[in-house]
């Protein structure tokens, strides 16, 4: 079946970015000039997604507002003849793309967040995108690459990348066969117990069978319902492949990763890049001289 739905789990509290996230969702933190969630949404739309399903919580209204119309703002821009800005805010989403929102009433983990989307996904394959993982690629987005694999391989696809062995305790880790199919997947194993150094990144294409497994697995690592645990059961009955996508992933759920993303994408920005790079170069030169 064609994949036209994507789930965005955005209900987290964003405690690593307090106090910035006390009243504003972490997914609305900006990298250069766009919020994190918009990067993920644009990647999904590029891959052919038409239905965006956001799993939210009580303090995430800003995400809904961002993708909704703002008549007052649009009228103001039109009256001031700021037509370029008007076009920008009017075209955040194409007209044929729909948004739907469902609340995750308790913070019970990624698996539970995905399960909350079951009534809206129905009996269809779907994508899952985590906005914390910003993946930059000038040619083709990570999800577009994965879609090609999904249609070619006719099975679910999970994005992976190599990580240092010492970092396996921060990721879901997969063991693969020669054909890239997943033989085993473990949530946050200690380095000495990790089956490989292939880490799961926040992009998935899954079949609807995952929902019944999420209802069965119960709480796992951290006392949460882990998507990894349900996938570990899913591979007993159907084939999934691990896909090492092309592109650079920025861990924007981490302060350093977020700052690096802002720096590198600002340097690449057509309007800001040259001026920003020159400023940074001068600033670093002054700092080194003062030391």
User: Residue 274: inside a domain, yes or no?
Assistant: no
pLDDT given for residue 65 in this prediction: 92
pLDDT given for residue 291 in this prediction: 65
pLDDT given for residue 59 in this prediction: 80
pLDDT given for residue 156 in this prediction: 95
pLDDT < 70 positions in the chain: 221, 291
User: Residue 270: inside a domain, yes or no?
Assistant: no
SS3 19: coil
pLDDT given for residue 223 in this prediction: 76
How many domains would you assign to the chain?
1
User: Residue 266: inside a domain, yes or no?
Assistant: no
pLDDT given for residue 163 in this prediction: 94
Residue of 255, 218, 210 whose CA lies nearest to 236 = 210
User: Residue 46: inside a domain, yes or no?
Assistant: yes
Please give the C-alpha separations between residue 25 and each of 60, 136, 173, 226, 246, in angstroms, as whole numbers.
6, 22, 28, 22, 28
User: Residue 119: inside a domain, yes or no?
Assistant: yes
Please give the C-alpha separations between residue 168 and each of 34, 165, 185, 196, 221, in angstroms, as whole numbers.
30, 6, 12, 8, 14
User: Residue 98: inside a domain, yes or no?
Assistant: yes
Global pTM value: 0.92
How far is residue 271's CA from residue 255's CA, in Å, rounded to a whole number? 25
pLDDT given for residue 219 in this prediction: 74
User: Residue 143: inside a domain, yes or no?
Assistant: yes
Please report, for the domain that includes residue 249, its CATH number: 3.90.550.10
User: Residue 71: inside a domain, yes or no?
Assistant: yes
Q: Print the domain residue range for 238.
A: 5-253
Q: For residue 35, count other CB atoms closer than 10 A to its CB.
A: 20
Mention every residue, 6+ apart, whose C-beta is less than 8 A from residue 216.
230, 233
């Amino acid at each position: 079946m064609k994949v036209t739905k994507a789930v965005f789990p955005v209900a987290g509290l964003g405690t690593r970015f307090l106090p910035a996230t006390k009243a504003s969702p972490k997914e609305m933190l900006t990298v250069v000039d766009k919020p994190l969630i918009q990067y993920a949404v644009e990647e999904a739309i590029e891959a052919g997604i038409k239905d965006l399903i956001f799993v939210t919580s009580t303090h995430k209204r800003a995400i809904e507002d961002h993708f909704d119309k703002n008549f007052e703002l649009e009228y103001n821009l039109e009256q001031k003849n700021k037509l370029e800005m008007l076009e920008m805010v009017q075209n955040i989403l194409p007209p044929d793309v729909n948004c739907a929102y469902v609340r995750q009433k308790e913070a019970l983990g990624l698996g539970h967040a995905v399960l909350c989307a079951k009534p809206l996904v129905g009996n269809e394959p779907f994508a899952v995108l985590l906005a914390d993982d910003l993946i930059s690629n000038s040619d083709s987005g990570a999800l577009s690459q994965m879609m090609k694999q999904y249609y070619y391989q006719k099975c679910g696809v999970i994005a992976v990348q190599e990580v240092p062995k010492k970092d396996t305790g921060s990721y879901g880790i997969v063991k693969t066969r020669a054909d890239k199919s997943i033989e085993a997947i473990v949530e946050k194993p200690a380095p000495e117990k990790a089956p490989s150094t292939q880490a799961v990144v926040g992009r998935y294409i899954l079949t609807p069978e995952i929902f019944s497994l999420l209802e069965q697995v119960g709480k796992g690592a951290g006392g949460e319902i882990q998507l990894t645990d349900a996938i570990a059961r899913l591979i007993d009955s159907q084939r999934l492949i691990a896909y090492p996508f092309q592109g650079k992933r920025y861990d924007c759920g981490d302060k350093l990763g977020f700052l690096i993303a802002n720096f590198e994408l600002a340097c690449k920005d057509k309007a800001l890049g040259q001026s920003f790079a020159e400023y940074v170069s001068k600033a670093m030169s002054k700092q080194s001289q003062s030391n």
